[in-house]
Amino acid sequence: MQGNPKRSMTALGIVALGSIALSTSLYSQEKDQTIGTGVPKSVGQSDSKPFRVPEKIGGSGHRISVGQADSEFPLAVVKGTPYEMGHHVGRLFAKEIQTFVPAALAGITQELKVQPGILNEVWARTSSYGDDRLEQELAGLADGSGVPLSTLQALHAVPLLMPYSCSSIAAWGQATVDGHLYQTRNLDWSMEVGAHEFPMIVLYIPNEGIPHVVPSFAGMIGAHTGMNAKGLALSEMGDASGKEAPYQVHAPHFTVYFRTMLYDGDSLSKALSIFKAQPATKRYHFVFGDGQTDQRAVKVRAHSPEPSDKQLLIWKDADPTDEFAPNVLSCIVYNDEGRGAFPTLQKEQGKLDGPKLIELANKIPIKGGNVENVVYDATALRMWVSYAKSGKEAYTRPYTYIDLRKIDADADGKPDLLQ
CA-wise closest residue to 40 among 94, 100, 102: 94
pLDDT (mean) for 24-39: 41
CATH number at residue 403: 3.60.60.10
* CB distance 136 to 51 below 8 Å: no
User: For 222-238, what is the mean pLDDT?
Assistant: 97
Range of the domain at 58: 11-418
Alpha helices in 149-308 (DSSP H): 149-157, 254-264, 268-276
Q: Per residue in 61-82, pLDDT tens?
A: 999 999 999 999 999 999 999 9
CA–CA distances in Å: residue 148 to residues 182, 199, 376:
38, 21, 34
Helix (H) or strand (E) holding 301: strand 296-302
Q: How far apart are CA 199 and CA 24, in angstroms?
A: 9
Q: What angle do CA 26, 81, 205 make, to 5 degrees?
A: 65
- Judge whether 5 lies within some domain: no
pLDDT digits (tens, 9 = 90+) for 329-348: 999 999 998 889 999 999 99
Mean pLDDT for 304-316 is: 86
Residue 255: is its pLDDT beyond 60?
Answer: yes
Tell whether 17 is covered by a domain. Answer: yes
122-157 pLDDT, tens digit per residue, is 999 999 999 999 999 999 999 999 999 999 999 999
| Within a domain: 4 | no
Residue 262 pLDDT level (bands cut at 50, 70, 90) = very high
Within a domain: residue 339? yes
Residue 271 DSSP SS3: helix
More confident residue, 164 or 87: 87
Question: 388 and 370 in contact (C-beta within 8 Å)?
Answer: yes
- Confidence tier at 30 by pLDDT (50, 70, 90): very low
Confidence band, pLDDT 50/70/90 cuts, at residue 300: very high
Whether 6 is in a domain gets the answer no
Distance (Å, whole) CA 272 – CA 255: 15
pLDDT at site 47 = 53
The per-residue pLDDT of the chain, averaged, comes to 88
Mean pLDDT of 220-230: 98
- Taking 3-state DSSP, the helix, strand and coil percentages for the chain, each rounded to the nearest 5, stand at 35, 25, 40
Q: What is the per-residue pLDDT for 37?
A: 38
Domain count, the chain: 1
Q: What percent of the chain has pLDDT over 70?
A: 87
Contact status, residue 317 vs residue 333, Cβ threshold 8 Å: yes
382 in any annotated domain: yes
- Confirm whether 25 is domain-assigned: yes
Q: How confident is the model at residue 242 (pLDDT cuts 50, 70, 90)?
A: low
* Residue 29 pLDDT greater than 60, yes or no: no
Q: Is residue 54, in this structure, part of any structural domain at all?
A: yes
**Tally of CA atoms within 13 A in the half-sphere of 147 that contains its CB:** 29
Q: Roughly what angle, to the nearest 10 degrees, separates helices 132-145 and 149-157?
A: 130
User: Which among 228, 236, 384 is positioned nearest to 300, based on CA atoms?
Assistant: 236
Average pLDDT (202-220) is 98
**120 and 135 in contact (C-beta within 8 Å)?**
no
Say if residue 241's pLDDT is above 80. no
- pTM, two decimals, is 0.90
- Where would I find the H helices in 81-224? 82-92, 94-112, 116-127, 132-145, 149-157
* pLDDT(20) > 90: no
